[in-house]
Structures are given as structure tokens and as C-alpha cells.
Amino acid sequence: MNVAAAANETLAHNSNLLVYSAMAVYTLAFLAHMAEWVFGSRSKVGRTAAALTAQVKAPATVSVVAQKGGTAVLERPKVITKSAAGSREVPDGPGAAGGTEKGDLYGRIAVSLTVLAWALHVGGVITRALSVQRAPWGNMYEFSTTFAAVAVGFYLLLLTLKKNVRWIGLPLVTTVLLDLGLAVTVLYTASDQLVPALHSYWLWIHVSCAIISGAVLYLGAVATLLFLFRDRYEAKLADPTGDQPGAFATSVLERLPSAASLDKFAYRINATVFPLWTFTIIAGAIWAEAAWGRYWGWDPKEVWSFITWVAYAGYLHARATAGWKGRKAAWLGLIAFACYLFNYYGVNIFVTGLHSYAGV
């Protein structure tokens, strides 16, 4: 029988310092991203708006087609139908910098600061693990810090792959700061060993998959939420007789990808990570059988994990079979991610179950 070693207080203290240092650098990255958007908004905006307006307001042309016998007939122009939300032929915006050199400079600074903050952040997670010689996600504090590190890491990976995702930077850094602030205050738990039931290799497998799945689903939720704002913006532009967007909305939303691009990005993200979330639930059931002697016991955490799975399965099924795109699918996606959040925060804090022994 293995005897758990006492926590290394020096490493635990260093972990806390690294996390606080990461928060300080994330704050600088947040300010740089704000500067990116502010200075970018000074550029000439409305390029996407102009493109869409040109499509909507383009004058109808009539072509003359010669027929046999010398009779000329008028041929009506072909009309592009824009039936589904998010399916309009609208080009992507110029990005968060708004096309200005100064805005782009601040954007690059923000990304560089995010990389530095992420390195400190990961150092804090690893040092926490070394302080107790176990996986660094045995309680809500550790789960939250690791979750945020994985989300930022996946964002940086997309940037490395030359994906145009810098528009995620501002909402990502903002929510990471909120997540870490909540972790180091309300959710903080001193570095210590876990109860015997958690000393299993399934802790590495099951919980790590849950963290990766949630971090990627979070990026999909950000894209989905931005899609709703962008789609409404495009809908107003497409209706010249209705209320037009204000200057501030135009300066911000015009620089996002088109609604169709955001919709596609969110769908691909959710579809890619859904099998991993499925495996997460299966792995949890296998671990439950080893720890408690049954695969499924209707524990609140098990129930809400399954509800989250059903919600995302419904979202993907609606997209694949019913052809749902746009706002209906977006609301389904947000409801599914809300289920994931409740499964983590709500069940852990407000509901008592077999998973409660991990504490906060």
C-alpha cells in the first residue's frame, strides 16, 4: 500500500506565485487587446457593411438574349437567396486590429503577453502537481487553473497553425482572468493529498479528458455567442428600411469574421471534441465501477454529464440531419455549454453527491 507523501510547501508556494504572476501578465495582455480594438476602430470601418449593402442594394440589370427567328427576349437576373441566418454572402472582417498598423502592433503585443502569461500559468500548474506528486486537478481550484491553461493553450495552438482566431483573444483573456480570480479566492484549496478513492490512474485519464473537452467547448461557445451578435448586425445591414447599427457596433462587429464563418467555426469545434466528451463519460463510468462497485448510480455529477452529452448530441444531430444553422443551432449550442458549466460549478457547489468529497 502506497503512503501519500506530505505536500511540499515550498513548491506549493511557488505554484501560487506563478499563478499570481500569470494573472498580472494576463491583465497586461487584456489591456493590449483593448488597445488593439480601440486603435483598430479608428480605421476606416464598414468594408464588410459596404460589401453587404452593395449586394442588397445592387440595381437590377436586364440582359437581352437573342432567340432563333430574331426575336429578342428579356431575361431576369438571377437572385441569390439568403434564407438562413448566417448564410449571407458576407466576407470576413479585417480582424481585431481593424486593418490599422497601430492596432495590429498592439494585437501582436497582446499575443506575446498571452504566451508569456500562459508559460507562467503552466508553470504554476506543473509546480502544483510536483508539490503533491499527483495530477494537478484533484479539486475545483486545481481544475479551474488547469482548465484555463488548456483553453489558452488551444487558442495559441490555433494561432500557431495560422488560423485567423485573434478575435478570440479579448474574450478569452477576460474570462481567464475571471476564472483565475475566482479560483484563487473562492475556490482556493491548500496543496494536499486526496482521499484514497481518487488515487487512481483514472484520475489522469478521466479528469484530463473532461478538462480538455470543456476548454475546447468553451472556445466554441465564445464563437457561438459572437455569432449571435454578428448575425444580428448583418441582418440589420441587409434591411435598409430598418434600424441601422450604430457607430460603436459597426466599429466592433465589422471586424469579426462573418456570421457564416463564426457559425462554421463553432460547429467544427463542437463536432471535433464531442467524441472526447463521450469518452470522458465512459471513462468516468469505468472508474465508478472500480471505486464504488457500479458503473452508473444516478449521482448528480453523472446525471449532468449525461445531460450535457445529450444537449451537444442534439445540437450536432440538428446540424447534420435537420440542416439547422444560424440562430437556432447557436441557442442549442449555448444551452449545451450552460449544462457543462452547471455540471462543474452548480453540481460541485450546490448539490451533494459522491463527487462532493473532492471539496472545492
Assess if residue 210 is contained within a domain: yes
How many whole angstroms from its chain centre is CA 166?
Answer: 12
Assess if residue 27 is contained within a domain: yes
Is residue 257 within 8 Å of 92, Cβ to Cβ?
yes
Assess if residue 299 is contained within a domain: yes
Assess if residue 63 is contained within a domain: no
Assess if residue 62 is contained within a domain: no
Structural domain that includes position 177: 9-55+79-358
Assess if residue 256 is contained within a domain: yes
Name the range with the highest mean pLDDT among 112-121, 254-263, 285-294, 340-349. Answer: 112-121
Task: Give the range among 65-69, 118-122, 147-151, 269-273 with minimum mean pLDDT.
Answer: 65-69
Number of domains comprising the chain: 1
E strand or H helix at 190: none
351 pLDDT more than 80: no
The single-letter DSSP state of residue 322 is: I
In the predicted model, what is the mean pLDDT of residues 310-326? 86
Q: What is the pLDDT of residue 73?
A: 47
CA distance to 67, 74, 77, per residue, from 71 (Å):
5, 10, 19
Assess if residue 71 is contained within a domain: no
Is residue 165 within 8 Å of 155, Cβ to Cβ?
yes
Q: Which residue has the higher pLDDT, 156 or 344?
A: 156
CA distance 21 to 10: 16
Q: Mind listing the pLDDT tens digit for each residue in 261-280? A: 999 999 999 999 999 999 99
Assess if residue 66 is contained within a domain: no
CA distance 102 to 96: 11
pTM of the model: 0.82
Q: Mind listing the pLDDT tens digit for each residue in 148-178? A: 999 999 999 999 998 889 999 999 999 999 9
φ/ψ of 250, rounded to 5, equals -65, -45
Q: Mind listing the pLDDT tens digit for each residue in 76-97? A: 444 343 444 555 668 777 778 7
